[in-house]
Amino acid sequence: MDVSKIEKDQQEYHAAAPPTFSARLKRAFGLNRGPSKKEQEEEERRLAAVDHLAYVSALDPETALVAIGSSTQGLTSNEAAERLAKHGKNTLSAFKPVRWWTLLWNSIAHPFNILLLFLAISNLAIPPADFRPFTYLMLMLVFATITRFWQESSSNSAAEKLKSLVSSHCQLIRRPDSSVQGSSTPVNQLDVVPGDIVKLTAGVVFPGDCLIISGRDISVSQSALTGESAPVDKASGAITTSTPLFDRANIALMGTSVTSGIGLAVVIATGDSTYLSFVAKKLAERRPKTAFDKGVNSVSLLLIYMMLVMTPIVILIQGFRGTGDHPWIDALQFGLTVAVGLIPEMLPMILNANLAKGALSLIKRKTIVKQLSAIQNLGAMDVLCSDKTGTLTQDMIVLQESLTPAKTNSWTPLEWASINSHYQSGMQNLLDRAIVEGAQKHFKNPQEILERYTFIDEITFDFERRRMSVILMPKGVSDVHILSCKGAVEEIIACCTHYADNNGLPQPLTDEMKTKFLATVDELNSQGLRVLGVATRRFEKIRTQYLKTDEIDMTFEGYLAFCDPPKEDAAEAIRLLNSRHVQIKVLTGDNLKVSVKVCSDVGISVEHVITGQELELLNDADFAFEVERCTVLAKLSPNMKQRVVQALQKNDHVVGFLGDGINDALALKSADVGISVDSATEVAKEAATVILLEKSLLILERGVVKGRQTYGNTIKYIKMAASSNFGNVFSVVIASIWLPGFQPITPLMLLTNNMIYDISQAAIPWDRMDPSFLERPKRWASRDLLRFMCCIGPLSSIFDCVTFAIGLYYWRWTDPNNNSTVAMFQTSWFFESLLTQTLIIHAVRTEKIPFIQSTATVPVLIMTTALIAVGTAIPYTPLGPLLGMQVFPVLQYGFTACCMLAYFTLVLLVKTVYIKVFKNWL
């Protein structure tokens, strides 16, 4: 082992390591004072992990196993238990559940709480100190913190409970304590420890940083870490050259996956000792922003912009018109209170409650949500890209026919294919199972066929060749090997020079015969049958190892035709999804004619279809057009599926992708909502955000409905809160100009009003949505929210002005030096404002006439009624004087009732016009 080369490699790797984000930020602003102690420690840990990987990769497999304390027969049960106790569970800190104290701190450090704390302290800091508002504001802060902490804890627990239902297992070689012989054992990925031997086949996700100790034709996808979609070749053997970590052929990092090949690997590091742990945060950020993320961001920015515009206006008006010893300080306090009033503080709680409630509801419908925001994306989805097998079909592939090249019935192709499927070491798919079951059904003694041959070697499957081979030696013959190959007919025939006639004798394969054989495939495909080709090759010069390049000069033995009938409920599910305005596009690697037949049978339009080969020839503009137009896209590679999803997103669609295979992982990760099934490959389940416990479009349709209901209840709150708060602030601006030297409402009253109103909306997640709302996909739209605020918000200001006028000109509450009359004016507006805000909940929650055509659920009715009663009673309680309230004349209640009736009528009229003009309400 050349230690100097390893050291050189480490130095070059360290020099090439990208700077941390914080380092780049400091450099950009000229604040590069060196990394913090925490950053230094983290960097030292990362470099140590890299050093360890570089060291192990420079060892030959046998030496590496000794150094790690393992063997090709795996660890014993006791050894695994001891290492698990020493190294801990195989999980990353970045992905562990958030600790309760972190949730509590996040709840305390919320901007709303910071503003409350600032206002509370300012009441003590500005003489004369007033403990009453300080105490009250601190009580509000504690209430807000506890409420948010409880909700965040509940949502976090629900999300972790849902994630735990989808467990990931890997095949390890472990042995009993008393045995020297190891065997393949499924082990939960959390229990993998350094020294474990991983059995590598297509679809396996590496459970830790691993050293490949043996293998054949291994290709590994590193897209989860590098972003490069093309798989890289891996092999065993010491590497002492100066090679970057990702390019080391014998190293496979945690989170990467096998796309083809077979072999063994030993786990070097797990959990927080892996390289992945140091890029976990960046990995989490690497998933593209979904429609949900973009929508929440746009709405949040709009509300921030409104706050930044309105708050300075209020402060300036109050400051210039203010009275007292500290007019500008009073104005600043009031302005900050207004800023709090503009932001829907309960949005995180309402949003999380909606998502958590939706997730728990979906699990009863056999749907597990790994990422809560995916629920909203389900509802917003307007294009569903789905695979065909198992979704539209019964996923019960049955062998229909075994045919010679001349289309006569013969069991010879099945015989060769059954031997191939039996000896392949990679993951068996549905076709392999159908072949084995077909052999058991049609041959009296299938085992006798297998016993005729001795297994020599295997050429594993990959998605480029689309075939796989096993090499056999006939029993009793030591100088002949036979290659049995099965795969896509086009790829099989392309490697053949002969075909077997009806007597089994090889005949030269001419171009004319190739055309004829491919026409047979088209004929079978048009009947909805999937077709595999079978070929053989005889080797006179034998050897122990064979390569992909040996799949030449073969003899075409014939076809195997399979059927996979459509699901009985597929047509109904597609009809329901179409009625919900979700367009179905079938993305499959299967044959176009087979796909068209199946799609036609279940009611999917097949007027416009295309293949991956045709898409490859198009420029970006034509590609986007064809992807938009076509409903069946066949013969697609994994990269092409991802490109189709991304093109649809650029066409302004919210895209869902349903898939369960290795070749679906890239598209699953790129989609707004990646959907897989519990029986899918580990790669697919890792990439997905939604897991179906049953592969059915009917289950998915229920998820779409639940997603739209979740969105509807969330957008209700945002529109209610934003429009009413905007109306209140608009009224504050008018009152600040109009009123003779006093504030229209105290900061304490405004905060109390806001808090009561927010509490009244805590039941919104339990409200129902009108059936008409659930018919179409919905998206977050800041422009729509701005329009809604500007149209509905100022309506309450009209009646606020009426209340101001009554107070000023009827009751003569005009003397700014008379605390009693000022308090009655402020209390009357507090009461009227609270009623208008609470009433608008029922007006906004539906586009129909509230209480007549659509009534809120019982929890919403109880909550709004109770809090109106609380708001009415406050002036009569000891809390009233603490807030600076006065009991106003009974006649004022009559004036307020008239205002409420007029306000409610005006909102309904404006709503009718709004819906006619803008064609939507929520």
Residues designated catalytic:
387
Structure tokens at 594: 């087979």
Q: Any bridge partners for residue 171, and if so which?
A: 186
Identity of the residue numbered 619: N
Dist. CA 278–CA 440, nearest whole Å: 51
Residues near 142 by beta carbon (within 8 Å), at least 6 away in sequence: none
Q: How far apart are CA 277 and CA 283, in angstroms?
A: 9
d(CA 533, CA 821): 94
Other CB atoms within a 10 A radius of the CB of residue 18 amount to 9
Interacting residues of 820 by C-beta distance below 8 A, sequence separation 6+: 886
Burial class (CB in 10 A: 0-12, 13-18, 19+), 733: middle
Give helix 61-68 / helix 37-57 axis angle, nearest 10°.
Answer: 130
CA neighbor of 769 nearest in space, from 673, 860, 700, 653: 860
Which letter does DSSP use for residue 97 in this model? P
Is the Cβ–Cβ distance between 778 and 711 less than 8 Å? yes
Count the neighbouring beta carbons within 10 Å of the beta carbon of residue 575.
13
Q: Which residue type sits at 217? A: D
Q: Report helix angle 747-760 to 819-844, nearest 10.
A: 20
Gap between the Cα atoms of 581 and 403, Å rounded: 44
DSSP code, position 761: T
Q: In sequence order, what are the residues at sequence separation of 6 or more whose Cβ sits closer than 8 angstroms to the Cβ of residue 73?
A: 173, 175, 180, 181, 182, 197
Phi, psi of 802 (to 5 degrees): -60, -40
Torsion angle of C-alpha atoms 6, 9, 10, 11, degrees rounded to 10: 120
Listed in sequence order, the DSSP H helices in 343-386 are 347-363, 374-380
Let me know: does 387 contact 395? Beta carbons within 8 Å: no
Closest CA to 846 of 760, 769, 767: 769
Q: How far apart are the first and last CA of the chain?
A: 69
Contacts of 356 (CB under 8 A, 6+ apart): 154, 155, 158, 159, 372
Q: What is the dihedral of CA 875, 879, 884, 890, to 10 degrees?
A: 0
DSSP assignment of 783-811 equals: HHHHHHHHHHHHHHHHHHHHHHHIIIIIS
What does DSSP say about strands 251-252 and 506-508: parallel, antiparallel, or unpaired? unpaired
SS3 439: helix
Distances (CA, A) of 729 to 291, 307, 794, 821: 30, 10, 9, 22
In the numeric block, the tokens 């009793």 are attached to 476
Contacts of 244 (CB under 8 A, 6+ apart): 12, 13, 16
Provide the Cα torsion 192, 196, 200, 203; round to 10°.
Answer: 0
